[in-house]
Amino acid sequence: MLDVEALRREYPILSREVYGRQLVYLDNTATSQTPRCVVEAVTRMYYEHKANVHRGVFFLSQEATDLMERTRDRVARYINAPSRDEVIFTRGTTEALNLVASSMGQLLDDGDEIVLTVMEHHANIVPWQLLQSRKRVIIKVVPIHADGSLDLEVYKSLIGERTRIVSFCHVSNVLGTVNPVREMADYAHSHGAVVVVDGAQASPHLPIDVQASGADFYAFSSHKMYGPAGVGVLYGKREWLERMPPYQGGGEMIKHVSFEGTTFEQPPLKFEAGTPDFVDIAAFSTCLDYIDGIGLREIETHEEELLKYATDRMMEIEGMRIFGTTPGKAPVISFLMGNAHHYDTGMLLDKLGIAVRTGHHCAQPLMQALGIEGTVRASFALYNTREEVDTFIAALKRIRPMLD
């Protein structure tokens, strides 16, 4: 069992008050808070190790490069990548998915098909639509069942001879649904398609094994994993990274530049143009040590208990509708109460010190499929407590009559 009270002491922000009330932070799906050890790792980088990476012959630059490159090794181990060269640093999941769509996209032909799902975050929709302005590729969309699970029959029926890319989230940021990545990847591969997985919402809660998952690409963000903002990872299979053209041009990614023609570095540097966020990348390895030190299994068990407790208590409230009810879902609860507007609910909760997210959660096509404009979303992390859930439920009960 987690010693949550001890863990919470490492997050000074959690003792903050807002509007004179103790903060209850339930927006972990958008970003989670960062423990002292990770903040100190960032500070240490600034105080002791800051120098531009890769380029310098001098001590500090080599030290900063080592610290950044050590994180590449750490990430490769964390996600069970066969090689550190298959780990590319980006600004986040969004940039990672843009990289794949833009670069892999150049290997596609007019008439090729891309299969997405209706539960995707905009970050896994818009980059593929941008590609449509350059290539006449066709996007097909997998629908969901009423409980928020993917319709796998339709999924299979949409994959055919022209399918080149299948891209879907491991975990939905709205429904909490955990998709059967391996099964989906195997089916896509049996038709010769490349599998791209948006792992932004899986990485904070589930162990990631890119080899077991079958994914050709897997993307995630540090800031949702108790880490610094501004760092993301794209895992990509070497065979594809070698074939793909560079995403951006500039320093670091070249072997030689002349006006007659330029040659490029091997992956991963081929995809890391310009100075990376080496400070936060270096600190990200402390963050992975932190998660491993606590244990993802323990974190998962704690979050599952909170999810069950909160869901049961929420269902005591009249007119409560929860979107996404699949077994084994991630600790995310999207809901509406009666006819109350999600924004009003969120505003009133905020005044009671409770931070939840409201709106379409960057998943407008999903909202359309659900026939709603938006939801209120509460999401849990390792440091949340049953007492916080009680405060949240009491607040919902208190504001419920005001919203009719």
Write out the catalytic residue numbers. 362
Q: Is 205 in the site for ligand PLP (CB under 6 A)?
A: no
Q: Is 287 in the site for ligand PLP (CB under 6 A)?
A: no
SS3 182: helix
**For ligand PLP, the closer CB: 93 or 334:** 93
Q: Is 173 in the site for ligand PLP (CB under 6 A)?
A: yes
**Which range, of 108-116, 196-204, 278-286, 316-324, touches ligand PLP by CB under 6 A?**
196-204
25 near 355, Cβ under 8 Å?
yes
Give Cα 164 to chain centroid, integer Å.
Answer: 23
Give Cα 123 to chain centroid, integer Å.
Answer: 10
Question: Of 292, 272, 286, 288, nearest to 42 (Cα)?
Answer: 286
Candidates 34, 93, 102, 358; binder of ligand PLP (CB under 6 A) is 93
**For ligand PLP, the closer CB: 128 or 400:** 128
Question: Of 27, 20, 21, 19, nearest to 383 (Cα)?
Answer: 27
Q: How far apart are CA 166 and CA 152, in angstroms?
A: 13
Q: How far apart are CA 395 and CA 297, in angstroms?
A: 30
Minimal distance, residue 302 CB to ligand PLP, in Å: 21
Candidates 32, 33, 65, 94; binder of ligand PLP (CB under 6 A) is 94
What's the half-sphere exposure (Cβ side, CA atoms, 13 Å) at 45?
24
Candidates 98, 221, 358, 391; binder of ligand PLP (CB under 6 A) is 221
Minimal distance, residue 229 CB to ligand PLP, in Å: 8
For the CA atoms of the chain, what is the radius of gyration? 22
Q: How far apart are CA 300 and CA 305, in angstroms?
A: 9
158 near 115, Cβ under 8 Å?
yes
| H or E element at residue 117 | strand 113-117
Which residues 24-43 are close enough to bind ligand PLP by CB under 6 A?
30
Minimal distance, residue 124 CB to ligand PLP, in Å: 6
Question: Of 253, 271, 216, 259, nearest to 95 (Cα)?
Answer: 271
Q: Is 144 in the site for ligand PLP (CB under 6 A)?
A: no
Burial of 62 (0-12, 13-18, 19+ CB in 10 A): middle
Q: Is 329 in the site for ligand PLP (CB under 6 A)?
A: no
| H or E element at residue 333 | strand 332-337
SS3 211: helix
**For ligand PLP, the closer CB: 32 or 201:** 201
**For ligand PLP, the closer CB: 71 or 94:** 94
**For ligand PLP, the closer CB: 92 or 348:** 92
Question: Of 303, 394, 311, nearest to 354 (Cα)?
Answer: 394
Candidates 41, 123, 195, 330; binder of ligand PLP (CB under 6 A) is 123
Candidates 27, 85, 113, 198; binder of ligand PLP (CB under 6 A) is 198
**Which range, of 38-46, 60-68, 89-97, 299-307, touches ligand PLP by CB under 6 A?**
89-97
Minimal distance, residue 115 CB to ligand PLP, in Å: 17
**For ligand PLP, the closer CB: 173 or 334:** 173
**Which range, of 86-94, 292-300, 315-323, 334-342, touches ligand PLP by CB under 6 A?**
86-94
Name the residues that contact ligand PLP, by CB under 6 A: 30, 92-94, 121, 123, 169, 173, 198, 200-201, 221
